[in-house]
Structure 1
């Protein structure tokens, strides 16, 4: 009986090992598929889900191409840190405009092509005392920070005008310049540099220490959330062309975020998967 028990355990172990090996050899077409079959699904530590892709035949149209340079995903000249298929959003790392008492002003320029800067996920933020910052875009946006000649007036977590200001941005922006200026007559030891940037509001929490140094004196980067859509026409018109319509089976077509032209695809209620996959690629929306 003991020998039989050992044999059964051995057979179960062999069967389990065979199943694991077999599943590892299956193509990437299951409900958890990220990229198209035979396509790279990661660059560095960032997942690259379809309709985006790396390499010929792996993305849906030119505007969804991602380049992987030294394990760093790039969308054009933008550094990509996250792609959310179901939300129709991409997060990129952008530069910070800065000016210091002993240095020249460093403005920043941003251009995202068809992608639009999310007006619901981002804010225009400036840091520093006696600061004037503005975005040269359409429409033009400007803001100033209140005087904080004493470090004690600033409050951690508060961006209400004392050392830190934030304002909403309008929908539809695809490119802008950010410039920040400071009062040249004041040289505050606790606030050597001033900064301004468009950034993801949920990832930023003001600290009074930022008056002394923010992101290595402005040389670092901050996350910005972009909205993307498929094509340039609304759902009803897009669905008429079955050869270019991007939504797979068991999906619904919705309007894009941020009033952007084009459309997004989502799984129907009770289904899960990548709504841009079809029966050929696998990984499409399937019943849960």
Structure 2
């Protein structure tokens, strides 16, 4: 798949976002409450949600209207059809206490399809006078942290992350439906409050909590009377969705895109995550359901995944610029007139490129053959040198009194593989020269055939005049 097709695919998804939102809502049901879209399996009113766990009540007395998740009575901030919902969770300061004191999230998720997201939430502890332990039950500790006090308040105000100075954070275990912690204070404040400890959306904690000035004025004992709630990400699952054959459910980690999501993760971590539509930043870390490629809508709604007519979209996406687009089930086809679609310039470029490529390939093959032949030739020379007593000759030469610096042995072999295989050696006017005493030897006056096994070292030495 080319980069252009990948970009076109995501652009196409962006264009179809509005239609997808409309299809993901059950027919005849309220589409929005205030500024929040309510996709199925959530719903407002009787018969509009999958079950009571996903029922949404819409408070029309506020402006704009406010949606609430009825099963836990929490305000809904946003809903992702990919398995996540953000709610506003009440937050209250912790009382200073030198004794071990219990704290808990006054929202129970037990018996519901919701869990506290470990991927998108963190345990935040504001203030440096508390030690906090996160508990999975009455006695089991699964995390915690303690911040170090820093007197230079202005320096810490400009910090972009909570890294242990005047505040700290701890990882939340996966699958929690109850949230409880224990804390102990090492110092008391004038108002009796020693900061905050609460689970919160990582993205909000990185950027938005500093909007409360009271939390920054005294970071050893932070307190702001307007700070009464914070967003919490819940993940949800539908165990047995009634899917048609165009929808599917899968593990969220099986599908990844090229988008970095560090804008809502720890600054020290970078990872990849599913990013089908830009508004769906939050995706279940366990499983979610979706419509197959070429379809849009909601797999939770009966017949909710419908075919996308790509031919009605921008022609730059369909790649049918000079042809005719035909929509098919789950895809599309392009029909081009004979000779259309490729210009003469493109044909010339393709031809030139093909010729150059063929030439380069031929040159590479020629060079490879030359290299291989040269290696074979060198290997055969070494084999014949060893077979005909060359090693013994070298040993005898090294044991003589003659200076090796003056010794030069030159053996001219005919560059003929057939000659080498037949062990024919020499031709007329060729000889062996040692110490420039060529005149002391008679030349080989013809081609001679010899048996390598019959030649001894003494024969070699007599030839050399030793």
TM over 0.5: yes
Partner of 1:99: 94
Question: Deviation at 1:88?
Answer: 0.7
Describe how 1:217-256 pairs up with structure 2 within 5 A.
217=225, 219-231=227-239, 238=240, 245-255=241-251
4+ aligned runs moved over 6 Å, structure 1: none
2:45–2:55 CA contact under 8 A, matched in 1: yes
Describe how 1:38-57 pairs up with structure 2 within 5 A.
38-57=28-47
| TM-score, reference length from structure 2 | 0.45
Partner of 2:173: 170
| TM-score, reference length from structure 1 | 0.70
Segments of structure 1 that go 5 or more residues without pairing to the other structure are 1-29, 232-237, 239-244
Please tell me whether Structure 1 or Structure 2 has the larger radius of gyration of its CA atoms. Answer: 2
Cα gap change, 1:184 to 1:215, in 2 (>3 Å): closer
Describe how 1:1-288 pairs up with structure 2 within 5 A.
31=20, 32-70=22-60, 71-75=65-69, 76=71, 77-85=73-81, 87-99=82-94, 107=103, 108-112=105-109, 113-138=112-137, 140=141, 141-152=143-154, 154=156, 155-178=158-181, 181-185=184-188, 187=189, 193-205=194-206, 207=210, 209=213, 210-212=215-217, 216-217=224-225, 219-231=227-239, 238=240, 245-255=241-251, 257-259=284-286, 264-279=288-303, 283-287=304-308, 288=310
Segments of structure 2 that go 5 or more residues without pairing to the other structure are 1-18, 253-283, 311-466
Question: Deviation at 1:258?
Answer: 4.4
More strand by share: 1
Q: Mean alpha-carbon deviation: is it higher for 172-181 or for 222-231?
A: 172-181
Q: Deviations over 1:94-153 (max 9, x none)?
A: 122413679xx9944232333011111111111112222333434533221112244255
Cα gap change, 1:172 to 1:96, in 2 (>3 Å): same
Question: Deviation at 1:80?
Answer: 1.0
Q: Deviations over 1:217-261 (max 9, x none)?
A: 374211111110102xxxxxx4xxxxxx422342222147445xx
1:255–1:264 CA contact under 8 A, matched in 2: yes
Matched residue SS, 2:27 = coil
Quote the RMSD (CA, aligned, Å). 3.2
- Partners of 2:102 and 2:174 lie apart in 1 by 26
